[in-house]
Amino acid sequence: MAGDNPVNEETTIFDNRAAAWDDIPRRAKLAADVARAICNTVKIIPEMDVLDFGCGTGLLTLRFQPLARSITGIDSSKGMLAVLEEKIREQGLTNVTAQCIDVENGKIPDGKYDLIVSSMTFHHIRDVQPVLAILSTLLKPAGTLAIADLDNDNGKFHDTPEGVFHNGFDRYIMKNQFEAAGLTCVRNRTAAIVQKESPSGEIRPFTVFLMTGRKEMTV
């Protein structure tokens, strides 16, 4: 996702990686694991409108396409979105849209959503709390925010620190941030374990949590 000057550089990084992004099998597996964890936590019904924040090439987005009325993928990388848009065209999908929106810089998407999902995006966001607040405003009453990201990784998950502002998250702190954004019934679970090779060739496991919170019904 994009922010001010350093994050604009990050957007360029993701633009350059977009064409080959899906070539790494662990990324598709992670999307499948996260989607499964969300579906095991949130009841998905065909009348739902879903937003995927930081959708990238749509590996998670398209997991929800058969399940919901609509799903919108947003990202600040035009290169990533171009890959998703090509998938939408090739598959003839009519309930999936992709939009280039820089939420981190305060740009707010149109619409309201029953479910907002995000996977492995928040560690690329410099200031998490304002983004959580924006996403909370986009939820319909009783809607759910579901974020998957790394547990604290001591900086070992990424090969380089470019565009990485958090070396994973403490679940307790993230829970407090959800609640500060006005979300209730905040819960977490382990969504996936990623086996990733380090630059030295060592295979290391990294856990990915799923944090969910619900927007209260209005009276």
**Number of domains, the chain:** 1
Distances, alpha carbon 122 to alpha carbons 41, 125, 142, 164, 174, in Å: 20, 5, 23, 9, 11
pLDDT at 6: 40
Q: Compute the radius of gyration of the chain from its Cα atoms.
A: 16
Q: What is the DSSP letter of 212?
A: E
pLDDT at 218: 67
Tens digit of each residue's pLDDT (9 = 90 or more) over 192-202 = 999 998 767 78
pLDDT at 163: 87
Provide the CATH number for the domain around residue 205.
3.40.50.150
Write the Ramachandran bin of 135: left for phi over 0, alpha for psi from -120 to 50, otherwise beta.
alpha
pTM above 0.85, yes or no: yes
Q: What is the mean pLDDT of each run of 10 residues along the chain (219 residues)?
A: 45 80 94 98 98 98 98 96 97 97 91 98 97 98 98 91 93 98 98 88 93 86
Q: What is the DSSP letter of 92?
A: T
pLDDT at 2: 36
Domain that holds residue 205: 5-215
Helix residue ranges, H only, 168-216: 171-180
Taking the C-alpha atoms of residue 186 and residue 67, their distance in angstroms, rounded to an integer, is 23
Tens digit of each residue's pLDDT (9 = 90 or more) over 115-161 = 999 999 999 999 999 999 999 999 999 999 999 999 999 889 988 88
∠ CA 46-1-44 to the nearest 5 degrees?
15
